[in-house]
Structure 1
Amino acid sequence: MVNRTVLDPGKRRRATILITVCIALMAVIASVSGLNVAQPKLATEFNASQGMVLWMINIYTLSLAAMLLPLGAIGDRWGRRRMLLSGLLIFGVASIISGLAPSSYIMLAARLLSGLGAAMIMPVTLAVITSTFPDEERSKAIGIWTGVAGGGGILGMYLSAILVDLADWRWLFALPVVLVIVAFMMTLRFIPDSVEKTKHKFDIVGSLLSIIAVIGIVFALHEAPGAGWGDLVTLVSMIIGVTGAVGFVLWELRQEGPLLDIRLFREHGLSSGSVTLLTVFGVQAGIFVVLFPYFQGVLGWSGLRSTFAMMPMALLMMLASGLAPGISIHIGSRFTMATGIMFGSIGAALMAAFVSVEGGYLSVLPGMLTMGLGMGLTMTPSTEAITSALPADRQGVASALNDITRELGTALGVALLGALVTAGYSNAIGSRLDLLPMGIAAVAREGIANALAIAPRAASQSGMLIRVAKESFVQGWQHAMWIGAGVMAVLFIYILVLGPKTNKKI
């Protein structure tokens, strides 16, 4: 018997559209995390400081987050297909320049341009889904999109680690370029052009204020772990960002055609979805910050093996994202979100309770799997809650808001949980280095990588220093993971009380 569902032309066309936007999204997501595995090689190639190398990575996220909201709104007005094609072109060219960059400053400029292109791509990919798929298919499509967004970064790091270990770091940019070419050709053929007509002028002032707010806040969050929260640059950046955010809210409340209608946050779906994504991506990013030093520093694994160790968590996250819509049909989106958050909190608690130097990978694997399951279940209904709260003519803005919460959450998680691990390590190791020379002890207090690097100079005390550094890092990890588990527990209660008001089934 012929399966009519499989052969239905409309569903086949929408499936092709979904594949196209996911390929474009994968190019963007892979570039967010791919360069992390090449930090030592970048420093050597360009004779760059660690701060410069971090900016090569972070300037991409900064420009991406800052431009998401205004470019999402422009995409609604100008045409989503044209915006996607333009973004892919800019992103592809910038990736080629990055791969050929002869200096650190060219690399910085290319990464800045890549972030701009990515900001044109990301909102459109989700907006195309929400404006193309009918209600009965939309949640499944969003589930696949969130799976790619959530797990694609880890898959990108894995492929990047292979390229770095087996070839050269410059080949990192070959993968995004190939994905861009494929997505560009498929967009020309399959993506329909949708333009939303509006009687209101584009909100230029609101756009500028949103850019100032995001740049100020994200810059401060990136600088705080290294420079400290009391550093003048960090404080000024945060003040500028918060002032821009307050100005943005006040301005938007007075506009007839605002860039983002702040009043919509009274709707529980939009507010709870945004808070959930902000928190979930923050905890996830913070966990990634500590997992790689654990694998590489405590267990002594290579970058490739460490990335491969993350794969079970990424695959389960992607699988759960695809299953979330079906679960929501039975128990509703509010309880699906709450269940996922509960698993996320349990996963963080498991890692905090059982991680050890001697236990190795098996001591953290149950927590990783539990957290991957929880985050996969959470992301799809949260994204649906945001996109369904805004009308069809504002889906670019809805998609951009969804992406901004992810980027801000990532920056916040890296800053806060990363700082907790650093502080926990310093407190744990501080009084255990009294027998070492002051110079060696000072270096060892800076971090586990520094302690392992300086250990050979400790002569007979080398073994003791390595053991103490590993144990201290694990203690710092435990402090951060307990905080992450507590934050997720608070979020669980918040969603049960103030989740989507109608407990909408997606």
Structure 2
Amino acid sequence: MNTPRTAPVSGHPTDDLDIPDAGRRRTILIAVCIALMAVIASVSGLNVAQPDLAVAFDASQSTVLWIINIYTLTLAALLLPLGALGDRLGRKPMLVTGLIVFGIASAAAGLAHSSEIMLIARVLSGVGAAMIMPITLAVITSTFPPDERGRAIGVWTGVAGGGGILGMFLSAALVDLASWRWLFVLPVALVLIALTMVLRSVPDSREKSAHPFDLVGALTSIVAVIGLIFVLQEGPVRGWTAPTTLAGLTAGVLATIAFVAWELRRRDAALLDVRLFGERSLAGGSLTLLAVFGVQAGIFVVLFPFFQAVLGWSGLLSTLALMPMAILMMIASGLASQISARIGPRATMSIGILLAGAGLAVMALLVSVSGGYLAILPGMLAMGFGMGLSMTPSTEAITSTLPQSRQGVASALNDVTREFGTALGVALLGALLSSGYRTAIDGRLTNIPQAPAGAAREGIANALNAANHAGPQAQPLIHAAQQSFVEGWQQAMWAGVAVMAALFIYCAATFRGRRESTR
């Protein structure tokens, strides 16, 4: 077995590893991408089955949301500690263990007959996913030679970016054709395939550290991530000034301060050397991923109700409508490394951000109730291609900053940044959509009966349901809700354009990505 030798504990990734042959490298890349796909698909898959879960478990909407969100919360909280443990204990053993835990938990979720069992299964799925996700990227960065590493990372980022949409489409198809329980057949099948390939092909690599594991850093990072993501998930539901929300914010902020203070004292023994954020490549890559995934997630919050409530499409057709954007995103992620080699990662990233922002602007300008899907498709395509171009150099900027022996931590940092961006984008752009909708619809309800009008103010889905009881005012109510949604959409889109514009200026002016050397 060709096993990479351990690199020094400090410095940039070394390139004197025992590299597996080309055929085995392809197998390794396929194996880790299949494992990643299982994790990504499970993030978004249950979103299409919310009504089915409520009926199956006689559960409230709050419980259903927790069944969905607890997985993401557990995954994000454990990424950094488990990524660091993978560096120490061995990346292959950690990946194999994670696949086993994730597969068993997914099977248990599919067989669950109560919301309590489902919640436990989803927590365990999050634990397994946190063992898998950072290691998949760490295996790539510690196994592939420098001249192939960028292309391999591009494939990984394509799966990470577009895999969620593909997972939602497959999930919607399974719900429509069979049952929500079949949603968990997909991740179990992917786990079995990935586990077989990992055991046969993936080499082991690990860090030999003279320092004990940073337990205090691990614990404070877990509390910080749980607190901050809890606020972003629950703030729109419970209210931003609710006691529970404020308690989560306080815990998250205090734990973050404690984590940074502790890590600055630990220096060489730190779980994550926070001083590295002073390097432009790491700061720029992290900020880009945070913004790109935030805008992407926020856009999905807008697109789905547009397809379903304005265009009247089913969940399956709505997810199918996102596939062109997902495919272009995956293609662009694969091409990004080749483009970076010619014009540099900073230029590649900047062009991607510019394209994504232009796509958002096109959607904001052209969207209308009567315009339909074709009016927004050009903007979706530009956004997908632009985001794909920006993801690969951003990920490379993060992984190249930390040494070879700390690639589990580098990969975990990349993943935590993505999860924070996603939660932030859903919270902020979703809030802008909601506030824009309420502001717009208030002036359109003057002739609508009081009860349907009150329901319509809560959201477009409520308005469509209330139209059944609005008598002759049903069609005006539907039109008012749809037009108000479009105005709320435009408000959210222009906010996304502003974020992309600010990010473009920052990256174009300050970011210095590392050019790969093939010598």
Coarse TM-score class (shorter-chain normalised) = over 0.9
Work out whether 1:294 is the aligned partner of 2:280: no
Match of 1:339 in 2: 351
Deviation sequence 1:406-445 (CA, Å, 0-9, x none)? 0000000000000000000011111221222322211111
Work out whether 1:285 is the aligned partner of 2:305: no
What one-letter code is carried by the residue in structure 1 that aligns with 2:132? I
Deviation sequence 1:93-127 (CA, Å, 0-9, x none)? 00001101101111111111101100000000000
Work out whether 1:273 is the aligned partner of 2:285: yes
Superposition pairs of residues 85-124 of structure 1, within 5 angstroms: 85-124=96-135
Match of 2:141 in 1: 130
**Contact 1:83–1:121 at 8 Å: present in 2 too?**
yes
Work out whether 1:303 is the aligned partner of 2:315: yes
Work out whether 1:10 is the aligned partner of 2:21: yes
- For the residue of structure 1 that corresponds to 2:448, the secondary structure is coil
Distance 2:471 2:114 in 1: 39
What one-letter code is carried by the residue in structure 2 that aligns with 1:343? L
Distance 1:363 1:200 in 2: 58
Work out whether 1:499 is the aligned partner of 2:511: yes
What one-letter code is carried by the residue in structure 1 that aligns with 2:439? N
Match of 1:421 in 2: 433
Superposition pairs of residues 220-259 of structure 1, within 5 angstroms: 220-256=231-267, 257-259=269-271
Distance 2:328 2:450 in 1: 46
For 1:218, which of 229, 233, 239 is the aligned residue?
A: 229
**Contact 1:334–1:503 at 8 Å: present in 2 too?**
no
**Contact 1:333–1:505 at 8 Å: present in 2 too?**
no
Work out whether 1:34 is the aligned partner of 2:45: yes
Match of 1:83 in 2: 94
Shift of residue 238, structure 1, vs aligned partner = 1.1
What one-letter code is carried by the residue in structure 2 that aligns with 1:366? P
**Contact 2:146–2:516 at 8 Å: present in 1 too?**
no
Work out whether 1:382 is the aligned partner of 2:389: no
Distance 1:104 1:185 in 2: 32
Match of 2:211 in 1: 200
For 1:395, which of 407, 415, 419 is the aligned residue?
A: 407
Distance 1:502 1:259 in 2: 24
Work out whether 1:63 is the aligned partner of 2:82: no
What one-letter code is carried by the residue in structure 2 that aligns with 1:73? A
Match of 2:13 in 1: none
Q: CA RMSD in A?
A: 1.2
Moved more, 223-232 or 319-328: 223-232
Q: Between Structure 1 and Structure 2, how many residues are aligned?
A: 499
For 2:195, which of 158, 161, 184 is the aligned residue?
A: 184
Shift of residue 194, structure 1, vs aligned partner = 0.9
Distance 2:516 2:235 in 1: 39
5+ unaligned residues in a row in structure 2: which ranges?
1-18
Shift of residue 193, structure 1, vs aligned partner = 1.1
Deviation sequence 1:343-386 (CA, Å, 0-9, x none)? 01111111111100000101111110000000000000000000
Q: State the TM-score, normalized to the length of structure 2.
A: 0.95
For 2:153, which of 126, 142, 150 is the aligned residue?
A: 142
Superposition pairs of residues 42-57 of structure 1, within 5 angstroms: 42-57=53-68
Distance 2:237 2:365 in 1: 28
Match of 1:453 in 2: 465
Match of 1:3 in 2: none
Shift of residue 503, structure 1, vs aligned partner = 6.0
What one-letter code is carried by the residue in structure 1 that aligns with 2:265? R
**Contact 2:20–2:143 at 8 Å: present in 1 too?**
no
Distance 2:374 2:55 in 1: 34
Moved more, 138-147 or 423-432: 423-432
**Contact 1:421–1:479 at 8 Å: present in 2 too?**
yes
- For the residue of structure 1 that corresponds to 2:380, the secondary structure is helix
5+ unaligned residues in a row in structure 1: which ranges?
1-7
Q: 1:501 to 1:44 in 2, by over 3 A?
A: closer
